């Protein structure tokens, strides 16, 4: 029952913000960082900006200029360098020294005017300075799309088989959850990615429950803090207790999400995709 | 007249520095010795064991530990992308002077008082200010790396800049956090930065002139047979393999052992089929030439940012009656690896956290990844990094390797499914509980002799720290991520003592004898702490 309540609470809030801006900072690895807590509270634009600052990515591309440069690049450059400038018969430009050394066309525009005729790179002598700068900004935006991982977004993650997903749910979930527990679940999340995260790990408003036996008696309640040295909990009357563990307190911890942790540790990708595809139909 | 003039100069020289400031100088030939009255290199000695022979502090008297002094960084404030300074260095201790760093800043402190002797402040032009691991010292010269990839040589006694050299372009997203490793007359410098698909490298510089002695590239260049592990030369030229943590060194074999970081593009492997040498490897390099002697690839064709930068620890053991020179690493991919460090042949390769992404080992002992576990558009569940840069340790007394590990999972999404992905090309999101577990692992079997799971309501943080130090007094000094410095017994993992600090222990822990007294020194947040036994 408790698990059911938690699942519904989570679905209702749709606030189980996923950390998309992974990185050196994220839960998966990297050199680490201090920002992940903050990332979760940010809008995508804020997250991209914070990551840009954190990584020291340099000048911000001019998006309006880049938009003007896009069709110019498509018609003049993409045949050789690829439509996102990642290389075709001519080299990738997003790792080019010249592009990475430029801020707003101050080096690229004069270069594009002259080209390298001997090496097959034409001169764009007739294009205006503004057009050449716009192309430079388009290139900087292509670099930004790669280098600023805070601006990444997932693709359409609904790739599973809903029929198989329903079978998994019927056989794995309904021994704990009531039949109507999943009604309209998909409409309660902002995105399929959040739905996927939310059904696997419905952690919002779920608390560990501890029962602590000391010489003074037994206290139980939801855990607020837990370390090798103390446990803090709030009992059902709302009273807070902190127990020093150095004096032989016996602690039993009950994890309402134990079954979900089991899922986390054993779920196959196929089952995950299928269940998400099924739940996504429950709008 | 002349004599008076000379005396005046001497007096002025004496007065120009702080009174009684010790004179710092390190004979490079002494760096590999067991550190007792100094801590002259990142790991104390070249082995990476982080083991001290000092026995003054014992399980019996550890309750008498007391803060001797605390140095708090007061004048720096927020740095770009870092709201507060966090000390992630391992300090050096030489002739009674401690050297401590954060990005762009280096301090010399009087180890007896914690008072500042001098402070060097670098104004960077780019680079990532995620951390700074410390300095190297050769005779009277300190070597300091900046976020924008300058190697700075400073007078260790005054902090005056002697020369500087730029060795990588911050505009290509190279940045530096490492501590230079000083070996004989080589200043060995690694680099970080995986945002833009650049190749990793290791440089060796002359400590006097700053001239480049050699460069080793983490990925093969034209004509190298290892290119067959890449689809083409271009992919190899942009294949990553950063060298952002200091390596270890065996003076007898004259070999450097360097851990290489993740492959690029990071999560999107579809544009680089193959094993992608020598990223995600432990490489053995000749210290004088940078030539590759052998390699062991811990994560062939990595697609999970397994970034193989945890220290390769060097230790000697008798195996089947024969003395063996070994190397062990608790790799970030979740495998514990023990190698013969003469040949690179594997002795043990075994998971030390629960994992299911590998179908077995190759004949060379390298874990074989299961392609279904690669990041995908719909998401793929796999482990989080099982360890990270904070220093592991090895005690010759217990024979155990020690690591703070994390057991947990993440969903990895491919965000760039094109045939020419670039940069990270994907992302990972932690899912479920992630538990930090301190482990004592027998490196000859890969099995844990004991484990300590730190109880915590919150998930393990990404840093997977803190660092570890063990001593001949049977102490294992580390901490949790709830601001407690904890001392365990090294043999059994029993908690002997703890103390709540104002922040989590965040850098390397060192110990030394100064004026006959054993100190334990470590950074936690913006403060450096020096502890010793109460008189």
Q: How far apart are CA A88 and CA A84, in angstroms?
A: 10
Question: Does the beta-carbon distance from A261 to B434 stay under 8 Å?
Answer: no
Tokens 């196959």 -> residue: A268
- Distance (Å) of CA A108 to CA A65, B186, B361: 14, 39, 49
- Distance (Å) of CA B97 to CA B27, B246, B271, B520, B532: 15, 22, 50, 14, 17
Q: Name the more confident of A102 and A56.
A: A102
Q: Averaged over B285-308, what is the pLDDT?
A: 98
pLDDT-derived band at A132, boundaries 50, 70, 90: very high
Q: Does A209 touch chain B (CB under 8 A)?
A: no
Among candidate residues B107, B147, B143, B105, the one with its CA nearest the CA of residue B130? B147
Q: Is the peptide bond before B265 cis (omega within 30 degrees of 0)?
A: yes
CATH code for the domain of B368: 2.140.10.10
Q: What is the pLDDT of residue A246?
A: 83
Q: Averaged over B81-94, what is the pLDDT?
A: 93
Q: What is the pLDDT of residue B316?
A: 98
Q: Averaged over B419-442, what is the pLDDT?
A: 96
Residue of A16, A17, A25, A27 to mutate for B, most B C-beta atoms under 10 A: A27
Q: CA angle at residue B337 from B331 to B341, to 5 degrees? A: 115
Query: For strand B495-500 and strand B527-533, is the pairing parallel, antiparallel, or unpaired?
Result: unpaired
Mind telling me how many Å the CA of A200 is from chain B's nearest CA? Answer: 8
Q: Averaged over A234-249, what is the pLDDT?
A: 92
Count of helices and strands (H, E) across chain B: 2, 36
pLDDT at B449 over 90: yes
- Fold category of A63-147 in CATH: Cytochrome Bc1 Complex; Chain D, domain 2 (1.10.760)
Nearest CB to B430 within list A19, A224, A267: A19
Tokens 């540790």 -> residue: A265
Share of chain B above pLDDT 70, in %: 95
Enter the tokens of residue A186.
Answer: 């998909």
Question: Does the beta-carbon distance from A196 to B379 stay under 8 Å?
Answer: yes
pTM for the complete prediction?
0.93
E strands, B371-483, where?
380-383, 393-395, 400-414, 426-441, 448-453, 469-471, 475-479
Secondary-structure class of domain A209-255 per CATH:
mainly beta
Q: Averaged over B332-343, what is the pLDDT?
A: 98
Among candidate residues B174, B123, B135, B168, the one with its CA nearest the CA of residue B150? B168
pLDDT at B187 over 50: yes
**B197: three-class secondary structure by DSSP:** coil
**Domain boundaries defined on chain A:** 63-147, 209-255
Q: Averaged over A7-32, what is the pLDDT?
A: 35
| A63-147 shares its CATH topology with A209-255 | no
Please give the tally of structural domains in chain B: 1
Q: For chain A, how big is the Rg over CA atoms in Å?
A: 27
Q: What is the pLDDT of residue B205?
A: 98
pLDDT at A187 over 80: yes
Helix axes A162-172, A269-279, angle to 10 degrees: 100
Enter the tokens of residue B352.
Answer: 């030390």
pLDDT-derived band at A28, boundaries 50, 70, 90: low
Q: What is the pLDDT of residue A214?
A: 87
Q: Averaged over B420-447, what is the pLDDT?
A: 96
Residue of B85, B174, B177, B379 to mutate for A, most A C-beta atoms under 10 A: B379
Q: How many CA atoms lie within 13 A of B419 on its CB side?
A: 5
Give the chain A residue nearest B460 (alpha carbons): A27
- Write the pLDDT tens digit of every residue in B23-54: 999 999 999 999 999 999 999 999 999 999 99
Question: Does the beta-carbon distance from A34 to B378 stay under 8 Å?
Answer: no
Q: How far apart are CA B137 and CA B284, in angstroms?
A: 23
Q: Which residues pair with residue B240 across a beta bridge?
A: B199, B263
Nearest CB to A55 within list B128, B169, B373: B128
- Write the pLDDT tens digit of every residue in A188-222: 999 999 999 999 999 888 899 999 998 889 999 99
What backbone phi and psi angles, to 5 degrees, belong to B145? -105, 140
Give the chain B residue nearest A83 (alpha carbons): B420
Per-window interface: A 223-242 vs B, CB < 8 A: 223-229
pLDDT at A237 over 90: yes
Enter the tokens of residue A226.
Answer: 């837990």
Question: Does the beta-carbon distance from A53 to B81 stay under 8 Å?
Answer: yes
Q: Averaged over B60-79, what is the pLDDT?
A: 95
Mind telling me how many Å the CA of B200 is from chain A's nearest CA? Answer: 14
pLDDT-derived band at B15, boundaries 50, 70, 90: very low
Q: What is the pLDDT of residue A247?
A: 82
pLDDT at B505 over 70: yes
Give the chain B residue nearest A58 (alpha carbons): B126
Question: Does the beta-carbon distance from A34 to B82 stay under 8 Å?
Answer: yes
- Write the pLDDT tens digit of every residue in B145-157: 999 999 999 999 9
pLDDT-derived band at B460, boundaries 50, 70, 90: confident
Residue B457: list chain A partners with CB under 8 A.
208, 223-226
pLDDT-derived band at A31, boundaries 50, 70, 90: low
- Write the pLDDT tens digit of every residue in A90-108: 999 999 999 999 999 999 9
By residue count, chain B amounts to 535
Q: What is the pLDDT of residue A21?
A: 28
Please, what's the b/e burial string for B358-396 (b: 16 or more CB within 10 A of its CB; e: otherwise)? Answer: beeeeeebbbebeeebbbbbbbbbbbbbbbbbbbbbbbe
Residue A275: list chain B partners with CB under 8 A.
none
Among candidate residues B223, B224, B237, B245, the one with its CA nearest the CA of residue B172? B237
Q: What is the pLDDT of residue A123?
A: 96
Among candidate residues B139, B114, B154, B263, the one with its CA nearest the CA of residue B199? B263
pLDDT-derived band at A40, boundaries 50, 70, 90: low
Q: What is the pLDDT of residue B103?
A: 97
Question: Does the beta-carbon distance from B457 to A224 stay under 8 Å?
Answer: yes
Share of chain B above pLDDT 90, in %: 93
Question: Does the beta-carbon distance from A197 to B431 stay under 8 Å?
Answer: yes
- Who contacts B266 (Cβ-Cβ below 8 Å, separation ≥6)? B194, B240, B303, B305, B423, B424, B425, B426
Residue A30: list chain B partners with CB under 8 A.
305, 307, 385, 388, 462
Enter the tokens of residue B195.
Answer: 């945002």
Q: How many CA atoms lie within 13 A of B121 on its CB side?
A: 7
Q: How far apart are CA B384 and CA B410, in angstroms?
A: 6
Q: What is the pLDDT of residue A39?
A: 66
pLDDT-derived band at B82, boundaries 50, 70, 90: confident
Q: What is the pLDDT of residue B533?
A: 97
Q: What is the pLDDT of residue B364?
A: 97
Per-window interface: A 164-193 vs B, CB < 8 A: 193
Domain that holds residue B347: 2-533
Nearest CB to A157 within list B372, B378, B486: B378
């Amino acid at each position: 029952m408790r698990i059911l309540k938690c699942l519904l609470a989570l679905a209702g809030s749709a606030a189980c913000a996923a950390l998309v801006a992974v990185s050196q900072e994220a839960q998966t690895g990297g050199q680490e960082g201090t920002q992940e807590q903050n990332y979760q509270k940010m809008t995508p634009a804020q997250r991209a900006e914070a990551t840009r600052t954190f990584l020291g990515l340099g000048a911000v591309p001019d998006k309006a200029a880049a938009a003007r440069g896009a069709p110019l690049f498509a018609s003049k450059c993409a045949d050789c360098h690829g439509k996102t400038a990642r290389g075709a018969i001519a080299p990738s430009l997003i790792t080019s020294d010249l592009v990475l050394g430029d801020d707003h066309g101050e080096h690229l525009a004069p270069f594009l005017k002259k080209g390298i005729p001997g090496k097959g790179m034409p001169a764009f002598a007739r294009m205006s300075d503004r057009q050449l700068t716009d192309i430079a900004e388009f290139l900087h935006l292509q670099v930004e799309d790669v280098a600023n991982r805070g601006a990444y977004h997932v693709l359409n993650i609904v790739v599973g088989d809903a029929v198989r997903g329903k079978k998994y749910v019927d056989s794995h979930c309904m021994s704990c959850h009531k039949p109507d527990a999943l009604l309209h679940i998909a409409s309660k999340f902002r995105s399929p990615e959040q739905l996927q995260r939310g059904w696997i790990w419905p952690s919002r408003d779920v608390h560990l429950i501890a029962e602590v036996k000391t010489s003074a008696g037994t206290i139980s309640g939801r855990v607020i803090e837990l370390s090798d040295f103390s446990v803090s909990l709030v009992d059902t009357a709302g009273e807070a207790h902190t127990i020093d563990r150095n004096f032989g307190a016996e602690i039993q911890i009950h994890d309402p999400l134990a079954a979900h942790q089991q899922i986390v540790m054993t779920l196959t990708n196929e089952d995950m995709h299928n269940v998400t595809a099924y739940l996504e139909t429950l709008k | 007249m002349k004599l008076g003039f000379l005396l005046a100069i001497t007096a002025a020289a004496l007065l120009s520095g702080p009174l009684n400031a010790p004179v710092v100088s390190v004979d490079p030939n002494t760096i590999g010795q067991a550190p007792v009255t100094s801590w002259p290199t990142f790991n104390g000695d070249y082995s990476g064991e982080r083991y001290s022979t000092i026995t003054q502090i014992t399980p019996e008297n550890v309750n008498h530990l007391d803060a001797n002094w605390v140095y708090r960084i007061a004048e720096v404030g927020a740095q770009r992308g870092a709201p507060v300074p966090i000390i992630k260095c391992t300090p050096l201790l030489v002739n009674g002077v401690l050297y401590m760093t954060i990005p762009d800043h280096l301090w010399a402190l009087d180890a007896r008082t914690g008072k500042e002797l001098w402070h060097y402040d670098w104004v960077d032009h780019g680079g990532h200010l995620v951390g700074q691991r410390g300095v190297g010292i050769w005779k009277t010269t300190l070597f300091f790396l900046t976020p924008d990839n300058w190697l700075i040589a400073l007078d260790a006694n005054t902090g005056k800049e002697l020369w500087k050299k730029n060795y990588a372009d911050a505009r290509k997203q190279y940045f530096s956090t490492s501590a230079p490793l000083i070996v004989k007359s080589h200043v060995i410098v690694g680099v970080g930065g995986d945002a833009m698909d650049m190749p990793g490298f290791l440089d060796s510089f002359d400590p006097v002139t700053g001239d480049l002695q050699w460069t080793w590239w983490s990925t093969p260049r034209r004509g190298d047979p290892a290119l067959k592990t890449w689809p083409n030369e271009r992919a190899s030229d942009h294949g990553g393999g950063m060298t952002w943590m200091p390596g270890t060194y065996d003076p007898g074999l004259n070999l450097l052992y360097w851990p290489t970081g993740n492959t690029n593009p990071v999560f999107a492997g579809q544009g680089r089929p193959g094993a992608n040498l020598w990223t995600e490897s432990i490489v053995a390099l000749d210290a004088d030439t940078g030539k590759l002697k052998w390699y062991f690839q811990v994560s062939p064709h990595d697609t999970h940012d397994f970034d193989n930068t945890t220290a390769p620890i060097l230790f000697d053991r008798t195996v089947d009656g024969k003395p063996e020179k070994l190397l062990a690493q608790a790799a970030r991919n979740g495998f514990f690896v023990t190698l013969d460090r003469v040949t690179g042949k594997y002795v043990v390769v075994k998971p030390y956290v629960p994992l299911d992404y590998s179908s077995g080992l190759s004949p060379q002992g390298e874990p074989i990844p299961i392609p279904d576990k690669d990041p995908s558009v719909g998401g793929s569940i796999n482990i989080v990094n099982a360890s990270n840069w904070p220093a592991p340790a090895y005690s010759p007394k217990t024979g155990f390797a020690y690591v703070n590990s994390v057991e947990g999972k993440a969903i990895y999404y491919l965000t760039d499914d094109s045939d020419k992905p670039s940069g990270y090309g994907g992302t990972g999101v932690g899912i479920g509980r992630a538990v930090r577990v301190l482990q004592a692992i027998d490196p000859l079997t890969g099995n844990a002799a004991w484990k300590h799971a730190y109880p915590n309501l919150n998930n393990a943080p990404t840093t997977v720290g803190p660092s570890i130090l063990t001593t001949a007094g049977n102490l294992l000094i580390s901490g949790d991520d709830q601001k407690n410095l904890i001392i365990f017994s090294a043999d059994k993992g029993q908690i002997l003592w703890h103390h709540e600090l104002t922040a989590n222990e965040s850098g390397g822990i060192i110990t030394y004898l100064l004026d006959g007294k054993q100190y334990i020194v470590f950074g936690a947040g913006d403060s450096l702490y020096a502890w010793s036994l109460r008189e």
